[in-house]
Structure 1
Amino acid sequence: MDEPRPDRAALLARADGPVTRDRLVGDLRALGLTEGDTVMFHTRMSALGYVVGGPPTLVGALREAVGERGTLMVTCGWNDALPYDFSDWPRPWQDAVRSEPFVYDPVLSEADHDNGRLPEALRRWPGAFRSRHPDVSVAALGAAAAELTADHPWDDPHGPGSPLARLVARGGRVLMLGAPLETLTLLHHAEALSEVPGKRFVEYEQPVLEDGRRVWRRFRDIDSSKGAFDYSSVTPPGQDSFETIVRDMLATGAGRRGRVGAADSLLFEAGEVVEFGLAWLAEKLGGGR
């Protein structure tokens, strides 16, 4: 995610000068990113300072840090996805929307702008792959990109067989480059796997491509918008539930901390995040795993 862009002078001051590709590579390696890593990353570009060349410079630095055997992955979503309550709209409104030829196309459809500039930059990168799910698509670039994004399940797209599950299975990592703690998307995988009672789901429709044809498909998923569970009793007022979980995880000593450019950054093991998330849900909300 990203915030409205500060002026360039403020960015330069924040990072004590321009942030170059070489500096980024050095900082990423010092944080612990290594050759061959499969890493899902979340970025607040403005937190890094003035990055010379913007998102392409950061993508290039990440690629250099993980090397030819490594893979980068980001959450994309779809900027023009229909809201979950589309099926509740007045019938004439629904008919007007259905008469339009728009469709989720993994190649052409823009990533959700709320996810910042990096997802759109990565999904457009030559050789990148993007998954087929319209609401929670991911893009990946590198050695395991095709494997991570293939056959994204239509239903339960955060659960088994999803790109998130494959990230964990590969021993992947999660990199937070100045991004808010609440953006750690992998915790949705823990929610999807959890057997804690009271899980909330949504059902919705989106137009997608199947065998080159536009099809209206109905989907079912955990409620990743309002929350898969009622967290109100276990999170401080005004604090996002994922921020609470990540803060509790950091308190155990999990993750590696460091500076990338001007950004306070974190590097987690994907499996560690999911295991902690499952245990936290079971402890705080009750029930089994």
Structure 2
Amino acid sequence: MSAAALAAAFTELGVRPGMVLHVQASLRALGPVAGGAAAVVDALLEVLGEEGTLVAYTATPENSSTSRVHQAAVAGLSAAERAAYEARMPRFDPAATPCSPTMGALSEAVRTRPGAVRSSHPQTSWAAIGLRAEEITARHPLTSHLGPDSPLGRLYELDARVLMLGVQMANFTAFHLADLRQPGVVRREYRCVTADGWTTFRAPDLDDLHFADLGARVLADLPGVTTAPLGGTTARLVPVREAVDLATRLLAA
């Protein structure tokens, strides 16, 4: 596929100039693209135009000693081995630290795009390109990983769309906003390493294991979602605000 063909497909799906668009993509599922991840970014920016904004989740869970990714990496190590492992962990730098491989090549392509800006959270950062990039990424307190005060909250406020490209609704990041609206949110301790050393803070416990079921229920009832085959997979355009509000009601029920 070419960037031009992708741009035409994104337009047909409903991506429009001036839109705030969060992209969650599996390029492996999409299939070969001439120019790779950079060409997909080219196509998206072409459709969004000068007034649009492209956003990607650029998390670094490997940077947190309390994340599931880190816990898996140190499983079985002795206390001394674990301390040595943590001493070698690179310090998070918003300008230079690559996003986790689990985020995918497209997120990294957005992060490294000239002109892209990134939020400062050492575990759950976001990168953005375009008119509203600074507005989306400027504020990201430690205690709001993926809450209303994070860039994800900005996407809700700005009535953004999510392009799910070869990615299932089990991974729909914005569902965390619905979770955090429920009563009895559990908080726990997090520990991340930054240029200033280790920092510890308390924030809501993030859990996405129920997102697959929630996503299926949301898709069954949510109007305004457009879906089309693209390459070797399916592309889906989902309105953030409507999806989060419906998920909130379903969880409450």
Q: Same-fold call, TM > 0.5? A: yes
Matches within 5 A, 1:1-289: 19-78=1-60, 80-84=62-66, 92=80, 96=84, 99-100=87-88, 102-192=90-180, 194-197=181-184, 199-209=185-195, 214-224=196-206, 227=207, 240-254=209-223, 255-283=225-253
- Report the CA distance shift for 1:101/1:247 in structure 2 as closer, same or farther (over 3 A): closer
Q: Which moved more, 1:79-88 or 1:29-38?
A: 79-88
- Looking at structure 2, the residues matched to 249 and 99 of structure 1 have their Cα atoms a distance apart, in angstroms, of 43
Aligned amino acid, residue 266 of structure 1: R
What 5-or-longer segments of structure 1 have no aligned partner? 1-18, 229-239, 284-289
- CA shift for structure 1 position 46: 2.1
- Looking at structure 1, the residues matched to 212 and 62 of structure 2 have their Cα atoms a distance apart, in angstroms, of 27
Q: TM-score, normalised by structure 1?
A: 0.78
CA deviations on 1:86-127 (whole Å, 9 max, x unpaired) are 899976456545655831001111111111111111111101
- Report the CA distance shift for 1:68/1:258 in structure 2 as closer, same or farther (over 3 A): same
CA deviations on 1:233-270 (whole Å, 9 max, x unpaired) are xxxxxxx5212111111111431112333321111111
Q: Which structure has the larger Rg?
A: 1
Aligned amino acid, residue 53 of structure 2: T
Percent identity of equivalent pairs: 30
Give RMSD over aligned pairs: 2.3
Aligned amino acid, residue 247 of structure 1: A
CA deviations on 1:34-87 (whole Å, 9 max, x unpaired) are 000001111111222221111011000000111111111111111631331789
Contact 1:27 1:261 in 2 (8 A): no
- Looking at structure 2, the residues matched to 91 and 131 of structure 1 have their Cα atoms a distance apart, in angstroms, of 33
- Looking at structure 2, the residues matched to 105 and 126 of structure 1 have their Cα atoms a distance apart, in angstroms, of 17
- Report the CA distance shift for 1:156/1:23 in structure 2 as closer, same or farther (over 3 A): same
Aligned amino acid, residue 196 of structure 1: P
- Looking at structure 1, the residues matched to 149 and 190 of structure 2 have their Cα atoms a distance apart, in angstroms, of 20
Q: Secondary structure at the residue paired with 1:272?
A: helix
Q: TM-score, normalised by structure 2?
A: 0.89
Aligned amino acid, residue 65 of structure 1: V
Q: Which moved more, 1:247-256 or 1:112-121?
A: 247-256
Contact 1:79 1:112 in 2 (8 A): yes
Aligned amino acid, residue 252 of structure 1: D
